[in-house]
Amino acid sequence: MGDHAGTSARRCTYSRDKDDHTPEGLTPLGKRQPEGPPPAPVTQRIRLRYTKRGRLRFTSHRDFQRAFERALRRAEVPMAYSAGFTPHPRVSYANAAPTGTGSEAEYLEIGLAASRDPERLRQLLDESLPTGLDIVDAVEARTPHLTERLQASVWDLRLDQVAPETAALAAEKFMARSAVEVERLTKNGVRTFDARAAVVRLGLAEQRADEPSERPCAILRLVVRHLTPAVRPDDVLSGLRAVAELAPPVPAAVTRLAQGPLDEESGTVTDPLAPDREAAPPATAATVSAGSATATTPAEEGTA
């Protein structure tokens, strides 16, 4: 007992007394550090736009993270890493779409330990990912706060076996309401909130010329602000069922066409990477302009 008490006293004294010398074999409290040199600093940041198409719309965000980190290794991208005992590549994801929805406009940012040409980097990463998870745009980050520019999203809600006139009438009833309460099951139970306040526009989209005409099909175009709590396309579909009894016989196919800054006057969503292109040096800006003269915007790609 005496030896045990003496050992405890010595330990307590050592923990309290910062001037004591460290006993042999022990490490000072708060000074444990990983072995080896610190990680290389970030010398360049690249912002990427990627897609979730076809069957890969069912890829979860965690699955995409794993696939993307494998692509970084395959493409031999000189990533910067976080400090600590479990270093992670410097990757920041922004406002990922829900599992099961397609998207033409997902965004992320990577930090590099050595500078690379953004377009060449885009090509290497795109080749290293499966078809459907496509890297379609890349710019060097020259302005702050990308996530703050993602103010709204444009969605297409494809309603198979629903007549366009029926869908258009349901959208009119939804927009005529000042509030549309819906329920969502969360980890804390069922939550009720207003799905109408975040909706900027909701109406019938133009039917594509190559769409099959054997069965009726309506496509609703939705523009929704990114608020808290977030209003998702499923919430709007629940609201359409509540106010207009619109219940498609098959699940809706949902695709995000664009996300970015919201033009309040026109209700349109613009390119969030445009400020980075505009901030590029003149020579770089001219090169990007020449290389993207025939490119389409995220919304145009989704409706082409």
Which residue in this structure is represented by tokens 């329920």? 183
CA atoms of 79 and 252, how far apart (whole Å): 39
Residue 79, classified by CB atoms within 10 Å of its CB into exposed (0-12), middle (13-18) or buried (19+), is buried
The two beta strands, 253-260 and 102-112, are parallel
CA distances to 39, 53, 81, 234, 300 from 36, in Å? 9, 42, 14, 49, 49
Provide the token pair at 18: 């910062």
Asked whether the beta carbons of 256 and 242 are under 8 A apart, the reply is no
The two beta strands, 253-260 and 152-160, are antiparallel
3-state secondary structure of 92: strand
- List, in sequence order, the alpha helices (H) in 45-116: 61-74
3-state secondary structure of 69: helix
pLDDT digits (tens, 9 = 90+) for 45-93: 999 999 999 999 999 999 999 999 999 999 999 999 988 888 889 999 9
CA atoms of 90 and 114, how far apart (whole Å): 13
CA atoms of 165 and 150, how far apart (whole Å): 32
CA atoms of 69 and 74, how far apart (whole Å): 9
pLDDT tens for the 304 residues of the chain, in order = 445 544 444 444 444 444 445 555 555 555 566 676 777 899 999 999 999 999 999 999 999 999 999 999 999 999 999 888 888 899 999 999 999 999 999 999 999 999 999 999 999 999 999 999 999 999 999 999 999 999 999 999 999 999 999 999 999 999 999 999 999 888 888 889 999 999 999 999 987 655 555 788 999 999 999 999 899 999 999 999 999 999 999 999 999 999 999 999 899 999 999 999 999 888 654 444 444 444 444 554 444 3
Q: DSSP code of 99? A: T
For helices 118-127 and 61-74, give the axis angle rounded to 10 degrees: 110
- Closest Cα to residue 77, out of 17, 27, 117, 28? 117
Q: What is the pTM of this model?
A: 0.79
pLDDT digits (tens, 9 = 90+) for 154-195: 999 999 999 999 999 999 999 999 999 999 888 888 889 999
Domains of the chain: 44-142 (3.30.70.580), 152-269 (3.30.70)
Which residue in this structure is represented by tokens 């494998």? 70
